[in-house]
């Protein structure tokens, strides 16, 4: 549990993961808007207008130096349980988890010294991420200056996931750093230390070993081919509708049949397989035959020409469950500057991990205890 708070499975720190996610999101957004704008231009007058407006809105977003966004599900616990009705016995979604996910929100804010569309890892000056449930914040971390700050409501997380943690007053005296984390206090860790030890702590390479290879990228020529292929499909399959109000708010809805859109997109990409990064697989029509073909709608909300919200209605994809409301919602804002929380206690990775493993009963590790070399 604790290791997952700091690193993903590949051993990369959250700073690397978040920055990579932001870059990929902006890249995907740029490609999507070029596709939408270009394909809309091939259709009706309404599609042309919608494409231009979306293109301009995303262009404004890329020129910002700070950004915040909030992601959540617009649904309820009953709907999530209904969607999970086909789960194998013993693997059903617990009621607590359904309640948590139905009201959960992920909030992210970033600041950069350059426009976001041109920002690299070294250009980001601060960032923050917060995971909140119906009763408050469950987990929060901030990257400010040379430190990563972390706070968690471990009791609430434990109740929601069914993984109880020991009471703070029952922890041994030498569990100091971990004790503060369990108690909901802010702790801070050198970001450099996290970067240096991340892969080793999660079972990756020890510090000093060869670094993992860089992520594969697409060259400009291949990107152009992919964009052209996607434009053709979107022009054929996606319908645009616009509606506006007197307060500067406008909605642009893009609708398409789910399986048909995916199948044609991948059919267009298949001839380019040899030009894609190693390991990239293009599903076939057979692979997608069981995917629902109900229409899915993405509703883009623009306020005074700026992107404010994107809501993707997924209710139609729940073929076997009666679902009235099930959408993925992304809200966009200007971004608040992440600041260092007052009173944070500086800790080291080894003392934090030592407190975690020293506080866990043998049963937590399958009754065999912790291998002696885990923390060496």
**pLDDT of the chain, 376 residues: tens digit per residue:** 443 444 443 444 444 444 444 444 444 444 444 444 445 445 555 555 777 788 788 888 889 999 999 999 999 988 888 888 777 888 888 888 888 888 899 999 999 999 988 887 788 889 999 999 888 888 998 999 899 999 988 888 777 766 777 777 777 666 667 777 777 889 998 888 887 775 444 344 444 455 545 555 566 677 778 777 777 787 788 888 888 766 889 998 988 898 898 898 888 888 888 887 777 788 888 888 888 888 889 899 999 889 999 998 888 877 667 787 889 899 998 878 889 999 998 888 877 776 555 555 444 444 444 444 444 4
CA–CA gap between residue 252 and residue 241 (Å, rounded): 6
Which pLDDT score, from 0 to 100, does residue 285 have? 87
Beta carbons within 10 angstroms of residue 60's beta carbon: 12
* Res 322: pLDDT: 77
327 SS3 class: strand
Give the pair of three-digit tokens for residue 222: 């291949």
Task: Judge contact between 99 and 161, C-beta under 8 A.
Answer: no
Crossing angle between the packed helical segments 220-237 and 14-40, to the nearest 10 degrees:
60
Task: Mention every residue, 6+ apart, whose C-beta is less than 8 A from residue 343.
Answer: 185, 186
C-alpha–C-alpha distance, residues 41 and 213, integer Å: 40
φ, ψ dihedrals at 263, nearest 5°: -60, -45
pLDDT at 202: 39
376, 357 Cβ separation under 8 angstroms: no
The four Cα atoms 114, 119, 122, 125 give a dihedral, to 10 degrees, of 50
| Residue 203 neighbours by CB distance under 10 Å | 12
Q: What are the structure tokens assigned to 258, written together? A: 């789910």
Residue 164: how many CB atoms within 10 A of its CB? 11
Structural contact between residues 251 and 55, judged by C-beta atoms closer than 8 angstroms: no
pLDDT score at 135: 80
- The confidence score (pLDDT) of residue 341 equals 92
Phi, psi for residue 203 in degrees, rounded to 5: 95, 10
The CA-based dihedral angle spanning residues 9, 15, 21, 24, taken in that order and rounded to the nearest 10 degrees: -120
Residues 6+ apart with CB under 8 A from 241: 46, 50, 252, 253, 255
Helix (H) or strand (E) holding 329: strand 327-333
Give me the pLDDT at residue 156, please: 81
Q: How far apart are CA 375 and CA 158, in angstroms?
A: 24
| Cross-strand pairs, 302 | 250, 307
pLDDT for the residue 142: 93
Strands 105-112 and 66-74: antiparallel
Q: What angle do CA 266, 33, 335 make, to 5 degrees?
A: 120
Q: How far apart are CA 241 and CA 272, in angstroms?
A: 32
Task: Find the helix packing angle between 220-237 and 258-269, rounded to 10°.
Answer: 150
């Amino acid at each position: 549990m604790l290791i997952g708070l700091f690193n993903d499975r590949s051993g990369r720190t959250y700073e690397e993961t978040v920055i990579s996610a932001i870059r990929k999101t902006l890249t995907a957004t740029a490609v999507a808007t070029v596709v939408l704008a270009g394909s809309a231009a091939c259709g009706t007058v309404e599609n042309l207008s919608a494409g231009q407006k979306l293109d301009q809105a995303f262009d404004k977003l890329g020129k910002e130096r700070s950004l915040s966004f909030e992601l959540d599900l617009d649904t309820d616990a009953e709907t999530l349980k209904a969607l999970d009705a086909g789960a194998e016995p013993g693997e059903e979604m617990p009621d607590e988890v359904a309640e948590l996910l139905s009201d959960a929100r992920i909030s992210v804010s970033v600041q950069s010294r350059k426009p976001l569309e041109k920002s690299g890892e070294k250009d980001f000056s601060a960032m923050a991420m917060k995971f909140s449930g119906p009763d408050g914040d469950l987990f929060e971390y901030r990257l400010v200056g040379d430190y990563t700050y972390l706070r968690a409501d471990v009791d609430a997380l434990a109740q929601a996931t069914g993984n109880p943690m020991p009471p703070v007053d029952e922890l041994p005296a030498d569990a100091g750093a971990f004790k503060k984390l369990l108690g909901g206090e802010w702790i801070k860790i050198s970001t450099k230390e996290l970067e240096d030890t991340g892969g080793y702590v999660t079972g990756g390479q020890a510090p000093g070993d060869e670094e993992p290879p860089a992520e594969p990228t697409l060259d400009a020529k291949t990107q152009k081919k992919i964009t052209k292929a996607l434009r053709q499909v979107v022009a054929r399959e996606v319908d645009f509708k616009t509606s506006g109000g007197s307060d500067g708010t406008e909605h642009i809805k893009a609708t398409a049949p789910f399986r048909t859109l995916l199948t044609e997109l991948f059919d267009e990409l298949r001839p380019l397989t040899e030009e894609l990064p190693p390991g990239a697989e293009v599903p076939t029509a057979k692979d997608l035959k069981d995917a629902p073909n109900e229409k899915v709608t993405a509703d883009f909300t623009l306020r005074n020409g700026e992107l404010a919200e994107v809501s993707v209605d997924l209710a139609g994809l729940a073929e076997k469950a009666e679902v009235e409301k099930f959408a993925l919602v992304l809200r966009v804002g200007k971004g608040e500057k992440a600041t260092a929380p007052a009173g944070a206690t500086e800790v080291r990775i080894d003392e934090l991990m030592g407190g975690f493993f020293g506080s866990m009963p043998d049963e937590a590790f399958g009754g065999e205890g912790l291998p002696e070399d885990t923390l060496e």
